[in-house]
Chain A
Amino acid sequence: MNFSGGIHPKENKITQHYRIGILQIPQFVYLHLSQHTGKPSIPIVKTGDYVLRGQKIAQPDGLVSASLHSPVSGKVVEIKEVLHPVLCKKFPAIVIESDGHNKTIDFSTKYKEYFRFSAEELVNRIKDLGIVGLGGAMFPSHVKLSPPRDKIIDYVIANGCECEPYLTCDDRVMQENSLELVEGLRIVMHILNALKGIIVVEDNKMQAYQKLKEKVSTIPNIEIKLVKTKYPQGAEKQLIKKVLNKEVPSGGLPMDVGVVLHNVATFVAIYNAIVKGIPLIERVLTISGDIDRKGNFLLPIGMMLKDIVKMLNIDVNNIKKIIFGGPMMGIAQESLETPIIKGTSGILFFSDYKIEQEYNQCIRCAKCVEVCPMKLMPNFLSLYIEYKKWDKVNIYSPFDCIECGCCSYVCVAKRPIVAQIKYAKSIIKK
């Protein structure tokens, strides 16, 4: 069952056929203490400590938080304030100077035969190894994997839609790590005691689809589902509607309709954590846009944007705009002094960018109403937010907005609707 609304922006998946590459180890990595939804982690190392690759350097603060591990071996230089790519302000990060040897801790693990262990043990292991959602929201995975007792999970969905233009990292992960993905899915199904696993792929990623189809041909309870490309299909509520025709209630979570959903890369990270014992210290991301050396790269978390630019020989003098994430929901970065975090799915460089500062009066064409996947009325939200009529704003449910940006994308008057809604949410919360 199709979800209502949505748009079809130009896909621009230029890097679709670029194999996942790697870069040199940077001299410094900057690991933000806050790279997940929830409370920042608490550092357990101090200045001057020597750490190994994979060693835990910060532990979670409370339930909704995550651990942090060093992606390199070397010395902890300091804990200083560094620009955060999502919060766009300076936040404390652990700075580690690499010694260039990349000495790792012993990854060997007793959890290889995961089916011998209880859900609780596995979830604790996932929590210990710092797994968070890699699709962008960075929600700690162990929280999603421990639903309350009264919620019965029937389905586990691996989200391989990657509906954002330009991004191809999930596509490459599905092709090159298909085995890890399927096994990761089985681990999660074991943890949640779920009946069925579904991997959803959009039809602009046929190679990934074929590859996965081969892999699961002998597994009866895992299905690969091909869906027609449409933005924002990768949004969890929309995907559940599309695949299972279930509507997650307003303000609810997928587990309310018996579903747990992760990004495909998260399943690979879970597999690596449980079977190989490797914590989340690196991730695949797409580097694309108006540059020569595009591609998909496996990079250590905490790598500074300026190091990436240097290693790829990108001439930033021609670059006007840099986006972390996709062009629809990604965040523009003002400086090269910004490190990547666990949720960074891509870095896009644009050389010609016109800022549209001026916008017109809403002419009520209702194009935003047609495309809103949450069936809201963005035109009224935009109008009432502009005139600060907060009681009116509340009538049009701003908190149901998933900030996909379809409304701003189609607006003929070029109104920054989704930015206005984000602003309203922050004001009303106060």
Chain B
Amino acid sequence: MEEKFFIISPAPHIRKKHSIRTMMFDTIIALIPAGVASLVFFGFYSLLIILVSVIFSVLSELLVNLLRKQEPTVVDLSCIITGLLFAYTLPARLPLWIVAIGVSFGIIFGKQIYGGLGFNPFNPALIARAFVHIAFPQNMGNFSVVDGVSSATALTILKHFPEQISNIPSIKNLLIGNYLGSLGETSVVFLLLGYFYLVFKKHINPFSTLAYILTVGIVTFFVDKQNLWIYLLSGGIFLGGIFMITDPVTTPVSSKGKIIFAICCGILTCIIRFWGSYPEGVCFSILFMNLLTPLIDNYTIRKKFGFKKV
């Protein structure tokens, strides 16, 4: 009898049927409600921003793949998330060419230059956002939806024009997102839908989001008790807290590390908001903490099973 040989491979011989792609796909689903809300509140133009952002994100990723002569990495869908997240942080009437430049910068210099997904120390969407923030301050500061009239966000009013405080929308509108602000940041309720979906799918640690929002809440309570809800509900607290400080690649691995990361982000956000020169601090606080992720990882190694305190 001729001897037949069988496949050999190391255990385990069964694997859970999921992959990076399905995980990213779930995140995209979680981002959809906020995107739809932005369409409703800011009109058709916001769809254009989202589309341009996603398309140029994919294109710049493909370009890098081409230059590096590698298999296309767009199939893991992570660049679509970068595109969506970046679009959600933009004012509703930002010129489309700025969107395209910003997202390409984020993908190329925030992610691919380090080697692609898994190697990037910073959240690419935030790199893109920080880049346009510094490169195009005029456009980024204008949150008007009516051409020719420039308007400010609630946070800008609180920081620079306290006499216009009556222009700040009601708590109800802040919750559903019917006010001036960045595309996807505004609708807290719809962002929360995404949060619950991701928690249900076990893709994010629910406590880091809570820790972040709580920290911002507590610090704000001691600094400006009156406007606590405005500080919490407007601006990027929820978008950042749900989708950016839970980004797996750029945040610590252990749950303890994640909580420390979230708390530090919260404190930094408040420092920038109250004492820095920008009205909003979510973006820079998370980017700064991304830098400290390896350090936090080094000091939050889990205590193994059977570890005894001496």
Residues of A within 8 A of B (CB): 3-4, 7, 9-10, 88, 165, 237, 241, 247-252, 316-317, 319-323, 327-337, 348, 350, 353, 355-356, 360-367, 369, 373-377, 379-380, 395-397, 400, 403, 405, 408-414, 416, 418-419, 422
Contacts and interface: CB of A to CB of B under 8 A. Distances in A.
Contact of B118 (A320, A364, A376, A408): A364
A4 B14 CA distance: 21
Interface stretch (B16-24, B145-153, B220-228): B16-24
11 contacts: A247-B305, A247-B306, A249-B306, A321-B8, A330-B11, A350-B13, A365-B203, A369-B253, A376-B302, A400-B305, A408-B12
Contact of B23 (A331, A376, A380, A412): A412
Contact of B302 (A322, A356, A375, A414): A375
B116 interface: yes
A9 B301 contact: no
Which secondary structure dominates where chain B touches chain A? loop
B137 interface: no
Given A361-B118, A375-B305, A379-B253, A332 B8 contact: yes
A362 B118 contact: yes
A322 B6 CA distance: 7
Output the residue of A250, A327, A364, A408 with the most chain B CB within 10 A: A364
A369 B301 CA distance: 11
Contacts of A321: 6-9, 13
Nearest to A413: B20
At the interface, is chain A mostly helix, strand, loop or mixed?
A: loop
A333 B308 CA distance: 40
Given A365-B23, A366-B254, A374 B305 contact: yes
B203 to A, nearest CB: 7
B205 to A, nearest CB: 8
Contacts of A331: 11
B172 interface: no
A321 B9 CA distance: 9
B309 to A, nearest CB: 11
A250 B302 contact: no
A70 B87 CA distance: 74
A366 B248 contact: yes
A250 B10 contact: no
Interface of B: 3-16, 18-20, 22-23, 76, 115-119, 202-203, 205, 248-249, 251, 253-255, 297, 301-308
* 6 A-B pairs with least C-beta separation: A361-B118, A419-B10, A405-B12, A250-B306, A332-B8, A365-B248
A85 to B, nearest CB: 12
Given A9-B14, A321-B13, A327-B14, A334 B20 contact: no
B253 A337 contact: no
Contacts of B9: 321, 332, 355
Contacts of B202: 367
Contacts of A363: 20, 117-118, 248-249
Contact of B16 (A165, A409, A413, A419): A409
B14 A328 contact: yes
A328 B6 contact: no
A386 B295 CA distance: 21
Contacts of B14: 9-10, 165, 327-328, 409
Given A328-B13, A405-B11, A418-B10, 4 more contacts: A247-B305, A332-B8, A333-B6, A364-B253
Contact of B12 (A249, A320, A375, A409): A409
A320 B302 contact: no
Nearest to B308: A249
Contacts of A250: 304-308
Nearest to B306: A250
Contacts of A416: 10
Contacts of B18: 412
A219 B264 CA distance: 58
